[in-house]
Amino acid sequence: TTTPVFIICNSKVTHSIGGGEYPKRVAQCKTATDALIKVHGDRISTLRDATLDDVEFVKNYYNNKNDDNDNNNEMIMMDDLIYRRAKHVVTENERTQLAKIALTKGDWTQFGKLMNASHESMKVDYEVSCDEIDILVEIAQKHPGVFGSRLTGGGFGGCTVTLVEKGQVESLCQTLREEYRLKTGKECLCFETRPGDGAREIIF
């Protein structure tokens, strides 16, 4: 089986549309972490330490607490918004670990499914995507030979990354450019790329 390649597609939407959303996500994740620590104690110091079961438990804990609190004096520590932010982080961490295994095995189908799930989570739970990015992802995901596609980078614009069979690169790029133009009136830039070896020690 031929190793697939990555296609980067630039939506030409600048990250500036996110405005003040970046610090909001930081604050929301801190609220989620504080809620987890309050319930689970020292076992959790950051969201990285939590599982989805931990998050679900805390959400239910605070829901019950607020239902029982007739005077409504207690601050809601994990409402639906904070829950979705925490859910994204912990499931994205899990997907990253599973993606490593899939890449090691050359299981492109599984890796693609994880890419697609990641984008859906960023779109719905973390809310850092935008219409243009969602359009590019949807176009790519429907194209023959594509294993998966998702937002990459900080969100609120920028680029998508798509894993696709080598023989479908030209067709995919043409389809992305044409359909994106029809749906948004904007031009996108597509190019093939290959992953590097990552961070490593260099001896001089």
Token pair belonging to 37: 């620590």
Nearest 5°: phi and psi at 155?
A: 95, 180
- Number of neighbours of residue 41 by Cβ within 10 angstroms: 8
CB of 186 closer than 8 Å to CB of 14 = no
Q: Tokens representing 45?
A: 């110091």
DSSP-assigned states of every residue in 14-82: -GGGGTTHHHHHHHHHHHHHHHHHHHHGGG-SSGGG--HHHHHHHHHHHHHHHHH-TT--S--SS-HHH
CB contact at 8 A, 127 and 25: no
pLDDT in tens, the chain (204 residues): 578 999 999 999 987 655 788 889 999 999 999 999 999 988 999 999 999 999 999 998 887 776 665 555 455 688 999 999 999 999 999 999 999 999 999 999 999 999 999 999 999 999 999 999 999 999 999 999 999 999 999 899 999 999 999 999 999 999 999 999 999 999 999 999 988 888 888 898
Q: Could you tell me which residues come within 8 angstroms of residue 26 by beta carbon, excluding any fewer than 6 positions away?
A: none
Q: Are 161 and 10 in contact (CB under 8 A)?
A: no
